[in-house]
Amino acid sequence: MKMTLRLELSGLLAVVAVLSLFAATASADPTKTECVAANGAGQDLRRDGKFAEAREQFQRCNDAACPTLLAEDCTVRLDELESAQPTVVFDVKDRSGHDVSAVKVTIDGEPFTSRLVGAAQRVDPGDHVFTFAVPGQGTVTERMVIKETEKGRHVRVFLGGRRPRVAGPEPEAAAAEYEPESSTSRRKVDTRKIFGIVATGTGVTSVVVGSVFGMLTMSAIADQKAVCPSTQLCSNRAQANSDHATWSTDSTISDAAFIAGGVLVAGGVYLLLTGHHGAERPQGRALVVAPSVARGGGSMLLRGEF
């Protein structure tokens, strides 16, 4: 009798357990309304930059119990969310520069992790305040803007607030230390020399042009005097007027070429002489170029002290 009663009770308990399991499974499956609500909530959270909460909603509607089209849409949105989800890699150093793994990390005051494993971790995009705390070694707070699609951002934190000093100079400092100090000035000198050579060459060419037109001016004046020695004695007044116009034009060109040539030669030679000492003028050296312009021609005075 007791054995029969025990068997009946055992069978009853088994049936109750099976029924409870089916009931729990049935209650865990989302309804169509819940699927639609989860999809909509996930999209809103995604727009607000709350990726972690959005992922939970999309995972809820990505269920076989949800309508097929809705479940497929949630699957696509989960993939898009994964692509846009930023990740960071925390690298915390102690005062001696050694790695620290037992670090309590909070984001905007909310617990994030208590141990660093060197792997990239998901974070929501936006402006966040990160706090790194290690018992006995202090706390460091960093504010960072995390961007969408930013993957594996390396965040290095030094406990104590200062970067540990290491033996030897920093790579950038070492490069600067061994770079010759005169390299910049040498580049400036080379530029001055180039401009000096160009300016001097152009100036000399201009002076030559001025000289040619000066000779043409004198030739035209001689031609005018040959046909018209004076106002009263003029065998060909039309030719004289033509010669006068010619030598007036040639004289103007000659004057302009001499002036431009003088200025260019003066500037070019100055650049060549001072290029050896940057912007400083060498002691004991001087150059004076003085163009002289007169009606019918021009000249240039060049005087140097070395």
- Which residue type is seen at 180? P
Say how many residues make up the chain. Answer: 306
Distance CA 68, CA 164 (A): 57
Find tokens 């046909």 and name the residue.
227
C-alpha 157/C-alpha 167 separation (Å) is 20
pLDDT, mean of residues 220-232: 75
In this prediction the pTM is: 0.44
Distance CA 229, CA 222 (A): 9
- Looking at the DSSP assignment, which residues form a beta bridge with residue 143? 129
Q: What is the pLDDT of residues 254-304, one digit of tens each?
A: 788 778 878 777 777 777 777 654 444 444 455 555 555 455 555 555 555
Query: What's the pLDDT tens digit per position in 16-52?
Result: 444 444 444 444 678 989 999 999 999 999 999 999 9
> What was the pLDDT predicted at 298?
53
pLDDT over 60 at 11, yes or no: no
Whether 104 contacts 75, CB under 8 Å: no
The whole-chain average pLDDT of the chain stands at: 76
Task: Give the mean pLDDT of 103-116.
Answer: 94
Q: What percent of the chain has pLDDT over 70?
A: 69
Alpha carbon distance 15, 18 (integer Å): 5
